[in-house]
Amino acid sequence: MTYIAKPKFQHPGLPRNDLGFTHRDYEGKVSTLCAGCGHDSITASIIEACFELSIEPHRVAKISGIGCSSKTPDYFLGNSHGFNSVHGRMPSVLTGANLANRDLIYLGVSGDGDSASIGFGQFAHSIRRGVNMTYIVENNGVYGLTKGQFSATADRGSKSKKGLINSDSPIDLVAIALQLGASFVARSFSGDKTQLVPLIAAAIQHKGAAFIDVISPCVAFNNHAGSTKSFDYVREHNDAVNRLDVISGRDPITVDYAPGTVQLVEQHDGTRIALRKIDADYDPHDRVGAMSFLQKHAARGQIVTGLLYVDPESDDLHSHLDTVEAPLNTLDAVELCPGNAALEKINASLR
């Protein structure tokens, strides 16, 4: 849907990361979303996070479902393979892709219609299985491509652009991800890049099912008074529990933190997350506490953001299945085919 070719010009002074890539190397095609769409900010945050982590762009597989959010993988990491699959079915496609090659980074991008309605089951089961992935829901509470119907994450009592009041209870994907055993759960806001970028970076480095719900206002259909997913509403009700910085293993911690305000979380691959506490009592290792904290704040109309839960000892579906270290898609007939001698033994056992 991109009709405008992006100029390939790169300013020679652009900063480069450890691999020598600039931001431009992590960009994709020109977005075709509405001007001001929250999703484009998330795209920018994904680009920023991948740049900062010095990821080889082609080692990422971007997988999405159907909808505005699911179009965005075309707008970042242009040298990665992308898969705009079937509505609500990103999680299964991603699961299969991950099984085939455990060595790539899997980035699943979905929306609230895609994950909370038609694909609610697949969302749940991919989290349950602990697929090693970063699962981002770009949550705007509305069906944008079909012009403004409520989605299942729309709050009860919120008003549509046409003036309808939503009477159904909302689905809080974060609460559900926690209950289903996601080992990394976060919520952020597309308008808060400083919070979102390190969350995405930490999620990418996390081994296991990392889920991020990003409230992403729809400027065309859900940014009016009476909406609880508008820029103004989210800014006013955002209750961040922490801020985080991702520190790669070899970097010394240079950021100066006031004593007692920082919690270091070491992840499986040796990277560390420095959590700057905003709410002193919030413990991101306490799954049950996180669930209760969320519910209490939701009842007060507050949107809790930040890294809500992380299990530093997490593992993934490949560990559960005890698969070989080599990606399954690299195994050839020599490795996979038992040969005729084995077949003759099988024949003999069937007589």
Q: Which is nearer to another protein, 92 or 190 (CB)?
A: 92
Please work out the total of residues on this chain that contact another protein, with binding judged by CB under 8 A: 63
Q: Cα separation of 23 and 158, whole Å?
A: 38
Q: Cα separation of 272 and 282, whole Å?
A: 19
Q: Which DSSP category does 58 fall into?
A: G
Nearest distance from C-beta of residue 85 to another protein, angstroms: 7
Q: Which residue has the tokens 């079937």?
A: 86
Phi, psi of 303, deg, nearest 5 = -105, 110
Q: Which is nearer to another protein, 194 or 349 (CB)?
A: 349
Residue-by-residue DSSP string for 182-220? -SEEEEEETT-HHHHHHHHHHHHHSSSEEEEEEE---TT
Q: Cα separation of 145 and 71, whole Å?
A: 11
Pattern 170-209, another protein, x by CB under 8 A: ----------------------------------------
Q: How far is CA 238 from CA 81, 155, 175, 241, 291, in A?
A: 35, 15, 16, 10, 17
Pattern 316-345, another protein, x by CB under 8 A: -xx--xxxxx--xx-xxx-xxxxxx-xxx-
- Interaction between residue 351 and another protein (CB under 8 A): yes
Q: Which is nearer to another protein, 88 or 198 (CB)?
A: 88
Q: Which is nearer to another protein, 256 or 322 (CB)?
A: 322
Pattern 109-148, another protein, x by CB under 8 A: ------------xx-xx---x-------------------
Q: Which DSSP category does 166 fall into?
A: P
Q: Which residue has the tokens 């085919």?
A: 337
Q: Which is nearer to another protein, 43 or 95 (CB)?
A: 95
Which residues in this chain contact another protein in the complex, by CB under 8 A? Answer: 1-2, 56-59, 61, 63, 73-74, 78-86, 89, 91-101, 103-104, 121-122, 124-125, 129, 317-318, 321-325, 328-329, 331-333, 335-340, 342-344, 346-347, 350-351
